Structure formats: structure tokens, C-alpha cells
Amino acid sequence: MSFTAMTNVITILFCLAVLVQSVRLMRSLKQVRDVSLNDTVGALDTATAQARTVLDGLRQTLSTDGTANLRVLGEAREIRDELDLMIGIANAAAERLLETASTVQPSFEKSAA
């Protein structure tokens, strides 16, 4: 047998092996497509329905709790402004007390001596 004939026979054997593997792969893919595709689509539909339910609940929660939080935030800002005013008044009173104490203390030391 010549070298050319031998390479042709080997090439034919490789082509047959590729054909056999292609047929096996096509059968496997058809089986996977028939079984898994239906399961995958069903799972995807279920997940989508659950996501819609969660989003609806979140939308409802945000609409009710968001307005309540805005109201509380407004009240908190009012309280903060009142506290800032009280702190300013207390600081001014403390400064006046320190000034009065510093003017009274030297005269108190003179009368005690």
C-alpha cells in the first residue's frame, strides 16, 4: 500500500469518527433541549413572577413609608432649629455669667481682705 492510500484510509477513519461523534452530540443536544429548556423557561417564569411581587411590595412600602419619613424628617429639622436656638441662648447666658463672675471676683477678694 502506498503512502497516499494509507493517508486516505486514515483520513476516512477520522471522518467516520467525527461523523459518529456528531450524531451522538446531536442526540444529546436534542435531549437537553427538550427536557431542560422547558424546565428553564418554567423556572424563569417563576422567578419573574416573584420579582414582580417583590417590586410591587417595595413600591407600596416606599409610597407609604416615604411620606411618613418625610414628615418625621421635617419634624426633626424643626427640633434641630429649636435646639440650635436654645444652645445659642445658653452660650450667651454662660458668657454673661463668666463676665459677671470675673468682675465680681476681684471686688470680692478686696472685701475679704
* pLDDT per position as a tens digit, 36-83: 777 778 888 999 999 999 999 988 888 888 888 888 899 999 999 999
* pLDDT per position as a tens digit, 78-91: 999 999 999 999 99
* pLDDT per position as a tens digit, 90-106: 999 999 999 888 887 66
Which residue shows C-alpha cell 423557561?
41
Q: What are phi and psi of 2, to 5 degrees?
A: -80, 170
| Spatial separation of the C-alpha atoms in residues 79 and 86, rounded to whole Å | 10
